[in-house]
Amino acid sequence: MHRIFCAPLRYVQGDGVTGRLALEMAVLGIHGPVLVVAGRSAVAALAPVWAAAMSAAGWQHHVRAFGGECTAAEIDTVAAEARALGPRAIVGAGEGKCLDASRAAAAAAGHGSRRRGRHSCGRRSGRRDRRPELRWTGGEARACRLHRRPATVTENRWHA
């Protein structure tokens, strides 16, 4: 019997890793401007860190507070904001609902490929491409996934 281990393309761990967000995105070929979709607590704790990381890379960014529920209306609102702002990447920061909404909004805003391919763990996919993935842990973030298609970064289980 074979086992498949789905793992991120990159794994970064340590204190202060959220401050390296732009650098890690650039390593995978993802650049700004960036739309950050985050829960209110994440915004309060990490907005200054994101601002420093993005400005150090010379990228513009916009932070949007997540509405609290992953609904069609919230996804449409975030997607409309993404289309209006024109980011090259969307960062989702918070718990599961926020991450799901940011991924769905990225796809709805056209930040994705519809080519057939395989998931990073080898499963066939009819709608998604292979996605480079980055995970990191540290004082402010325990896990982060970075997807090139759609250009979405998801950060969850953080603490200040």
Extract the tokens encoding 33: 């401007």
Rounded CA separation 151/51 (Å): 19
- Long-range contacts made by residues 79-83, C-beta under 8 angstroms, separation at least 24? 79/104, 79/105, 79/106, 79/108, 79/109, 80/109, 81/35, 82/35, 82/106, 82/109, 82/111, 83/109, 83/110
Confidence of residue 7 (pLDDT cuts 50, 70, 90): low
pLDDT digits (tens, 9 = 90+) for 105-140: 988 988 654 434 434 444 444 444 444 444 444 344
Map out the domains of the chain with their CATH numbers: 10-156 (3.40.50.1970)
Rounded CA separation 119/145 (Å): 14
Rounded CA separation 24/18 (Å): 9
**Alpha carbon 58 to chain centroid, angstroms:** 19
Rounded CA separation 114/108 (Å): 12
- Among 42, 55, 50, 39, residue whose Cα is nearest residue 17: 50
Instruction: Give the pLDDT confidence score for residue 118 in this predicted structure.
Output: 38
What is the rounded (10 degree) CA torsion for 126, 127, 133, 136? -110
Name which residue leads in pLDDT, 115 or 35.
35
Instruction: Give the pLDDT confidence score for residue 62 in this predicted structure.
Output: 96
pLDDT digits (tens, 9 = 90+) for 145-158: 444 444 445 554 44
